[in-house]
Amino acid sequence: MERRQHRGAAPEDARLFGPRQQPVLRSAAQEIVWLLDRGYRMEPAVEFVGGHHQLEARQRHALSRSLCSTAQRSDRMCRAIPAGALAGRTLSIDGFNIVIAVEVALSKGILLEGMDGGVRDMAGLRGSYHLVHETLTAIDVVGGVLAELRVGSTRWLLDAPVSNSGRLRAAILEHASHWPFACTVELVPNPDPLLYGVDGVATCDAAILDRCLGWFNLAGYAVRQRVPDAWRVPLGPDPCDSSP
């Protein structure tokens, strides 16, 4: 394996996202959504509310990854594909988005449950990726749940400029040889535009969710089914309440 052995929690996460911080984070989330619903952009809304609640940078980043406007949430949820509707379908998979989230779950890292139901990690890609001890298990987890859901085929898209994308592609294809459905893995300059307008996308990337025709919360489903003790932090406010 590479230099990094696991994709686990940061040293300060227990303090920043523990039970004592949950009421503060939920209040902040509620206030941010109130601002988003009134036309404010995410960055200034998070900075304003984060400053008021004296939130640290990692907490603010978590909120920005987890939240959206009420209208965005409604639109995304209308296009969410239920697990029972995947049989026989082709699923286009945002590869790094899914694999890293499951790696984090297996590594006891923090996963964020947003107001759109999506499960997102805090690992951060930043153009660099290394396989970790949990990578192959994460691939097995994803392949196993897709087999149980009886998908017809999968098309994985990986960011070619990201380091070790070729190694991840090889690992996925090796495991896919045992899966009961067809699988292709493509290295592309940027998967996002290739997933816009597609019906049947597996991702929790906000930009893709707002532009695809239909999406499945594959990371969230896989974690709930196969890693039930994963550290999941709910950061979305009550979706029925966007008042400050």
Pairing of the two strands 110-113 and 119-121: antiparallel
pLDDT digits (tens, 9 = 90+) for 114-164: 999 999 999 877 778 999 999 999 999 999 999 999 999 999 999 999 999
Residue 156's H or E segment, with its range, is strand 153-159
87 phi and psi, to 5 degrees? Answer: -55, 125
Quote the DSSP letter at residue 238. P
User: pLDDT-based confidence at 236, cuts 50/70/90?
Assistant: confident
CA-angle at 191, arms to 130 and 194, nearest 5°: 165
- What residue has token string 């603010």? 60
pTM: 0.93
Quote the DSSP letter at residue 87. B
Asked if 215 and 209 touch (Cβ cutoff 8 Å), the reply is: yes
Q: What is the mean pLDDT of the chain?
A: 94
Residue type, 109: G
